[in-house]
Amino acid sequence: MERMEECFRWYGANDPVPLAHIAQAGATGIVTAIHEIYDGSAWPDEAIARQKAMIEGAGLRWSVVESIPVHPSIKLGTAERGRYIGNWKDSLAALARHGIGTVCYNFMPVVDWTRTELRHPMPNGALALRFDAVDFAAYDVFVLKRPGAEGDYSAARLEEAKARLAGMDEAAVARVERNLIAGLPATEQKYDRAGFLKALAAYDGISPADLAENLNHFLRAVVPVAEELGINLCIHPDDPAFSLFGLPRVVSDAGDVRRIFSAVDTRTNGLTFCTGSFGTREDNDLTAMAREFAPRIHFTHLRNVTRESDGSFHEADHLGGSSDLPAVIQVLLDEQARRRSEGRKDWRIPLRPDHGHLMADDLTKDRINPGYSLIGRLRGLGEIRGVMHGIDVARRMQ
């Protein structure tokens, strides 16, 4: 049995993890983007060529684009969205000219992946990313003072949040605010408090149904272009897979994915199966979802989260946490074998270990992208590789 394509996320020439170290981890593919262009402009050929040359110069392959930013006008459905959809199509065409055939993107409004804590201590001394639901409510209601925020929380949660804030000093509040709105890796926009409130206000009156229709409009425009170019598109789920700051979410559960697939019912319109994002919801059966959506899973993020009783969660060991990652991997390997039996050239599914713990020598480094240190992801990749090898051995012994 062939393993899935092992990839690493890389943030370009300024990434503190160099390509040479990624190659030493045993990965063969790179997941990256033209990170300096995030304003909705089309990506120029020369920027793509330069990035690709660096990757190939290290003996690696640019396997997946993550992500071409989706301009807010597209999510809001404003009059100028046509221009930015056109730029998105132009970026697809440029990527196709350079032989890159998989593009991941997301449709999360205002905030990308969101955590309140970037250095949560684990029992073994490693540090993890964490979303604290009480800290989040305390910031949203009593620090940010988002209009109408109180209505999004129970009375009990508001009391918890008020007590939590009372026990936080200014530095703790500033740290939570920085983590929530000042920008994590791959975030397209960094905000101050006033700017963040303004960005949120733009979505006043935009319901989940409205956002879903704006996504459908986008898909109807770009999927036929991607199909003609031979590029697979794969939307990333919301992270976490529930509403934040009163914003609508439209890629959070199986029903959302079915709706997205039906909007443009072609294999090109696919999914990035992120076990961590979908795993933040107890009602998401990851194995069943992987099995149902397997034919249109073009890329996967393999990580695990531990859900906590109060709605919080933290990034767990890849083979720990609340989700059965080996069961999902088995489904994906089965799908990969099915594709290969059909004679497809694109049968291999790229994976990347996501959001590793900060551990060992990385704990002392001055510059680390939260969630994207080398050693934690290397450990995750090793565990995932071991699961794939174990499944292969077990099947050969049957």
Q: Where are the domains of the chain?
A: 5-114+207-397, 117-200
Active-site residue identified among 35, 120, 301, 314: 301
Per-residue pLDDT tens digits of the chain, which is 398 residues long? 689 999 999 999 999 999 999 999 999 999 999 999 999 999 999 999 999 999 999 999 999 999 999 999 999 999 999 999 999 999 999 999 999 999 999 999 999 899 999 999 999 999 999 999 999 999 999 999 999 999 999 999 999 999 999 999 999 999 999 999 876 555 557 788 999 999 999 999 999 999 999 999 999 999 999 999 999 999 999 999 999 999 999 999 999 999 999 999 999 999 999 999 999 999 999 999 999 999 999 999 999 999 999 999 999 999 999 999 999 999 999 999 999 999 999 999 999 999 999 999 999 999 999 999 999 999 999 999 999 999 988 888 88
Active site residue 35: no
Active-site residue identified among 35, 71, 120, 236: 236
Active-site residue identified among 84, 105, 139, 372: 372
Helix (H) or strand (E) holding 128: strand 127-131
Q: What's the rounded Cα separation, in Å, for the pair 70 and 222?
A: 11
Active site residue 71: no
Q: What is the pLDDT of residue 187?
A: 58
Active site residue 120: no
Identify residue 313 by its one-letter amino acid code.
F
Domain 5-114+207-397 sits in CATH 3.20.20.150? yes
Q: What is the pLDDT of residue 395?
A: 83
Active-site residue identified among 7, 104, 234, 274: 274
Active site residue 210: no
Active-site residue identified among 15, 132, 256, 354: 354
For CA atoms 218, 224, 225, 231, the dihedral sign is positive
Q: What is the pLDDT of residue 1?
A: 62
Q: What's the rounded Cα separation, in Å, for the pair 260 and 256?
A: 6
Q: What is the pLDDT of residue 397?
A: 84
Active site residue 105: no
Q: What's the rounded Cα separation, in Å, for the pair 49 and 46?
A: 5
Q: What is the pLDDT of residue 295?
A: 97
Q: Name the nearest CA neighbour of 277 among 245, 321, 233.
A: 321
Q: What's the rounded Cα separation, in Å, for the pair 349 and 333?
A: 8
Active site residue 112: no
Residue 229: strand pairing partners = none
